[in-house]
Amino acid sequence: MSQSSGTLYVVATPIGNLGDMVPRAVHVLQSVALIACEDTRHSARLLEHFAITSRCVAYHDHSDDKRTEQILAQLQAGEEVALISDAGTPLVSDPGYRLVRAARHNGIRVVPIPGACAFVAALSAAGLPSNRFTFEGFLPAKAGARQAALAALADEPRTLIFYEAPHRVLACVKDMEQAFGSERELVIAREITKTFETIHTATAAQMVEWIAADSNQERGEIVLLVHGAPERKAGMSAEVERVMTLLLEELPVKQAAALGAKLTGGKKNELYQWALAQRQ
């Protein structure tokens, strides 16, 4: 790391309530030479509220390599730069990782300034298992791709967390009911830290009805959380169970296990014991 290089600060900002801005973040934003914002107009209210007058430039999904190089040049010249998103922690469902990666690749110090994060806040209040979870960000906007993505997660045992656009939330929950089953537990966390904050738990089927009955639930910033699938026994994937189920429709247990082992690469004895349990 060059002794003359500056520092890139990755600064979390509030997701709605300005009272959640941490003092360290205010100090850093007031002191840096440049703030790279996802949307300079959106961040203007926040910066004005905290009397932050540092110069701002836009850095977002459509920023080209030239903008990254410009920011890197300032860092390499010894200036300090802060990276912020529209709300919450940068790099969580936004393009900031490109700048962070480039900075680290060039030996520039990167310092996180922790603070609000919508999916972490939602998980903390959802009442779902939080020892293991997976954040999937935004699902595909098109129905077919979204349904395929959810189907691939149907057997995931960890708590699933998604961001979703308000105009797609009802369609998304309907797809979740189809992919995960009507009894899978869902939580919607909407407008977290804001006036109309809502955290609601229901089965997938109940959630579809609840959202459909109240158009207010299709407004604002939304986090969807899904209880993970029941843990499967080691060695028995959903695909192996599907193959064995089909074989048992036509063959005795012993033959089904033998053929299943050849088709799936599983252990014949484990498949035999599983098949016996299905016949009881």
User: Please, which pLDDT band fits residue 237 given cuts at 50, 70 and 90?
Assistant: confident
Residue-wise pLDDT tens digits, 126-140: 999 999 999 999 999
228 has pLDDT over 70: yes
So what's the pLDDT on residue 179? Answer: 93
DSSP state letters, 28-66: HHHH-SEEEES-HHHHHHHHHHTT---EEEE-STT--HH
Residue-wise pLDDT tens digits, 173-192: 999 999 999 999 999 999 99
Q: What is the helix (H) or strand (E) element at residue 225, kind and residue range? A: strand 222-226
User: Please, which pLDDT band fits residue 142 given cuts at 50, 70 and 90?
Assistant: very high
Residue-wise pLDDT tens digits, 31-42: 999 999 999 999
Strand pairing partners for 189?
A: 199, 223
Residue-wise pLDDT tens digits, 56-79: 999 987 777 889 999 999 999 999
User: Please, which pLDDT band fits residue 238 given cuts at 50, 70 and 90?
Assistant: confident
So what's the pLDDT on residue 1? Answer: 46
Q: Phi, psi at residue 164, to the nearest 5°? A: -145, 145
